[in-house]
Chains A and B, each alone.
Chain A
Amino acid sequence: MHLAYPAVLAVLLFCTGLYGVLARRNAILVLMSVELMLNAVNLNLVAFDVWLRDTLHAGQALTLFTIAIAAAEIGIGLAIVLMVHRNRDTSDVDRLRDTAEPRPRLSAALGPTDPGADASGSGADDPEADDSDADDPDSDSSDPGRAAGEKAEATA
């Protein structure tokens, strides 16, 4: 059998998964796309192992390991998605934008001084940050500005 067939199939599967990771909105769909990418890699591993007739069968062993790691990854990933959904009531990755810069204004950038521009985005709603993260110790409750942002995002 031509090696090109499994290789090309792996490439196409991988790029399909890539497209899914980049384009999908729901976090679980993103995880599915990741699985596709992993499987493309697995196909490559198996094909090359068979072609090379490796005495140690490193390709197949590695495939097994990848499958195991993928299972672990999907477990952890789903746990994270669930927690995010519990906190935010959403699992859309493009709505999780807490690390975004506040929308900068060009005039502020070109003006002589803008002492308050950085503080205005995250520090404005500090007071309502108190009760937001009481129920999940794993979120970054040590960062009040971020917590406030999360809260604002969740209530928006």
Chain B
Amino acid sequence: MTPLATATAATAPAATAPGFLSPTGVEIAFLLVGAVTLGAAVITVTTRQLVHAALWLVVALGGLAVEYLLLTAEFIAWVQVLIYVGSVVVLLLFGLMLTRAPIGRSPDADSGNRPVALAVAAAAAAALLWVVVDAFRTTWIDLGGPAQGSTRVSGEILFRHWVLPFEALSVLLLAALVGAIVLSRRNGDGDGDGDDAKDLKRQGPHRTAPGKDR
């Protein structure tokens, strides 16, 4: 927990009817980071430079990790940094390179479906915003009390209550690993013919390993 978070958590119960116009420090931090995150996300989906999109994605995912921290979910924040920023984005960058994505501005990064996509997204956003704001206008999160997302707490609940799903998940990851290998093989009998392109491609599935050994 950051000092800022604890401070706001201590003062929160005092404000019985906290209004939107008098935000606490945590809220201000959350809003600022949220704005950066949203901006990075928007740039990710609109930029014409493919590699830049991946890099802006790092910003967005990192911003989200900070948000987790602000929400006292500490362990998840570090997992987010580790997996998303550390491996997923690297994987995506590998993918971009292996598909020979153009470096620099590519004029056709958006398909002809763009207006439709904009309309659908706007409509969905409007509908969801309306519902969410309508429902949670006055709901208050009490961030005080015992830590909810520390590594200790997470480990306890994970291995006390969620062991079976956790193990099932490991089987799923194994299946994904095998599937990725099978998909990437050049031939059914491809046993190491020393092809460079093939070896490069094989790195894709191998890179899923970090997800497993989290």
Contacts and interface: CB of A to CB of B under 8 A. Distances in A.
Q: Within the complex, are A and B direct neighbours (CB within 8 Å)?
A: yes
B103 interface: no
B165 interface: yes
A156 to B, nearest CB: 16
Contacts of B101: 26, 28, 91
Interface string B137-155: 1011111010011000110
Contact of B133 (A4, A64, A81): A4
A148 interface: no
B41 A8 contact: no
A19 B121 contact: yes
A94 B113 CA distance: 9
A14 B158 CA distance: 27
A71 B84 CA distance: 8
- The number of chain B residues touching the other chain, given as a range, is 35 or more
A46 interface: yes
A25 B111 contact: yes
A74 interface: yes
Nearest to B210: A71
B148 A49 contact: yes
B183 A83 contact: yes
Contacts of A70: 84, 88
Contact of B154 (A8, A57, A85): A57
Contacts of B158: 61, 64
Given A64-B76, A74-B91, A5 B44 contact: no
A15 B126 CA distance: 9
A39 B41 CA distance: 11
Contacts of A135: 186-187
B139 A65 contact: no
A76 B177 CA distance: 8
Contacts of B60: 13, 36, 39
A7 interface: yes
Interface of A: 1-9, 11-29, 31-33, 35-36, 39, 42-43, 46-47, 49-51, 53, 56-57, 60-61, 63-65, 67-76, 78-83, 85-86, 91-94, 135-138
24 contacts: A1-B24, A2-B139, A7-B133, A8-B133, A11-B128, A17-B45, A22-B121, A23-B111, A25-B110, A33-B44, A35-B57, A35-B88, A46-B68, A50-B148, A51-B141, A57-B149, A61-B161, A61-B165, A64-B158, A67-B76, A78-B180, A82-B99, A85-B100, A86-B186
Q: Closest 6 CB pairs between A and B? A: A71-B211, A22-B117, A20-B45, A75-B208, A72-B176, A19-B121
